[in-house]
Structure 1
Amino acid sequence: MNSFNVLIEKISTAKDLDFGNIFSNSIELFKKTWLQGFLLQLFTVIVMLPLIIVFYVPFIGAIIAQQESGYGDTQAFDSLFAGMSILYILFVIVGVLVLGAISVALNAGFYRIMRKLDHDEQVSTSDFFYFVKGKYLSKTFVLMLISIGIGVVAALLCYLPILYVMVPLSLFAIVFAFNPELSVGEIVKVSFKLGNKKWLLIFGLLIVSGLLAEIVGLLSCGIGILFTAAFPYHPIYMVYKEVIGFDETSAIEEIGTSAE
């Protein structure tokens, strides 16, 4: 595994990267991973589905009640909000955080899958859930809390800082995926170090890849977005690959770990 100091050194001495090469390589890799990208979106929806149901069922009940009493009657919604207990609200908040942590773990698993496919290795569905384990979920949970905290502070500072922090925040999952032995603080520091070093490049890649994924998805009658939504992960992967790279020894160790 790469140590914290080694990672920082690699980032500090990173060579200049070409936007066009990174983007074209991302497209080539996407041709290998589009199915796994679709599965990532599917698994994310399945994970979030229970919370969506718990959150929206009371509103659906209030809408039905309002229809029975007339659209001009707001009593149904007034009763709904008045009846929401603190316990229910806390349950929803905790649910969002826990499922968000699982989502980060799935994203990290997808990055591992990308590396395997990039090296023409075999993958399986279980690779998505590599980090959905107790020893890893605690870190993804804390990373989720830190992401929310940084986002809230950035929003309070007139929103402009969000443009800056969106780059290092987008690196949390990939730094964790390939360096799970690092502490949460070290993962955050490495992400911000890499984000600062390649901020303009990564920001441009995120904007262009995000727009492309959305346009292609919408042109495919909307349903295509499920297949293209994972495309922005690929430029992030390529930047990480070119700047930090992968420890081949750790890859062999991971194969042994997965076989246990």
Structure 2
Amino acid sequence: MNSKINSKIDLKIQNGYTLETGSLIDESVNTFKKTFLISGVAVILLAIFTILIYGTILVLIYGLSDFTSTMTEFQASQSSAVGMLSTVIIATVTSAFFAPITAGFIHANHLAKNNQEIGINVFFDFYKSTFFKDLFLSHLIIGLTGGLLSSSLSLINLEILTYFVQLFISMVTVFTIPLVIYGGQNYENALTKSFKLFLKQPLLIFVALLLAIIGVFIGIIALCIGIIFTAPYYYSMVYAIYNQAIGFEEKSVIDEIGQEEF
């Protein structure tokens, strides 16, 4: 762990930091404009991989029966606590394996901001880095927490609250992946420090992420397919929040220890 960056992060936790909504929008839009095409291609590839993975899991669990009966059986299992728990575990473990790709979406904005070349490999490079373990474990903890809380609320017929739970978890963990890949934090410190950093500017982070979500859903208005290219805007905003809150040295930890480990 880079002691200089670690001290800087701890100082921000202690003394706070400033965020400016207009500046966040400007920065996120600027980096998004440079990344949306390559990010859109990555979203398509990710969607294909996700369908293949979940389809394989369903076949392994429910067998090679026809699709309709398989999905009917799957949906019926969701009404039970055991079925919900199984689904949460499977979905969380699977999504945790995609955490390095999420890191790639965020890092693409860092490259764009610094006018560096962005290739499709950027979205998969973190699988080869020493960050993989902490990215996987942090996503696993986040996913299990959100999944278990949402399932519990569904069982007591409070499904509407699951959206607020997921939103809250997204906000308090917004710094987690950047803290791992740029701050050199392990998954425990990244989760803990993300929560503490969030508490310094909760309202502005909420507004920024809400604007990002609205920006993403503009893609649905654009004949649905537009969301393929607008979805990565969320990560442009996450990067902008981290950059404005923590910032980078002239040579960031990702340059010092990350690139040589890919």
Shorter-chain TM range is: 0.7 to 0.9
Whether 1:167 and 2:171 are equivalent positions in the alignment is: yes
Shift of 1:240: 0.8
* Inter-CA distance 8–132: structure 2 relative to 1 (3 Å threshold): same
Q: What's the counterpart of residue 73 of structure 1?
A: none
C-alpha displacement at 1:202, in angstroms? 1.3
Partner of 1:178: 182
Q: Which residue of 2 aligns with 1:248?
A: 250
Query: Which range moved further: 106-115 or 242-251?
Result: 242-251
Aligned CA distance change for structure 1 residues 139 and 127 (closer, same or farther; 3 Å) = same
Residue correspondence of structure 1 range 215-226 to structure 2 within 5 A: 215=218, 217-226=219-228
Provide the rounded CA distance (Å) in 2 between the counterparts of 1:164 and 1:97.
17
Write the distance in 2 (CA, Å) between the matches of 1:251 and 1:174.
10
Where does structure 1 lack aligned partners over 5 or more consecutive residues? 67-75
SS in 2 for 1:232: helix
Aligned CA distance change for structure 1 residues 248 and 255 (closer, same or farther; 3 Å): farther
1:120 paired with 2:118, answer: no
Identity %: 22
Structure 2 gaps, min length 5: none
| Aligned amino acid, residue 51 of structure 1 | I
Query: Do the aligned partners of residues 11 and 227 (structure 1) sit closer, same or farther apart at CA in structure 2, a change above 3 Å counting?
Result: same
Larger Rg: 1
Cα RMSD (Å): 3.3
CA distance in 2, matches of 1:255, 1:62: 46
Deviation at 1:186, TM superposition (A): 0.7
Q: Normalization by structure 1: what TM-score?
A: 0.77
Q: Is the 8 A contact 2:142 2:169 kept in 1?
A: no
User: Which residue is 2:191 aligned to?
Assistant: 188
The number of equivalent residue pairs is 240
Pick from 190, 213, 227: which aligns with 2:229?
Answer: 227
- CA separation in 2, counterparts of 1:219 and 1:34? 17
Aligned to 1:71: none
Where do 1:149-168 residues align within 5 Å? 149-152=144-147, 154-155=149-150, 156=152, 159=161, 162-168=166-172
Contact conserved, 2:208 with 2:237, CA < 8 A, in 1?
Answer: yes
What is the rounded CA distance, in whole Å, between the counterparts of 1:167 and 1:110 in structure 2?
18
Q: TM-score, normalised by structure 2?
A: 0.76
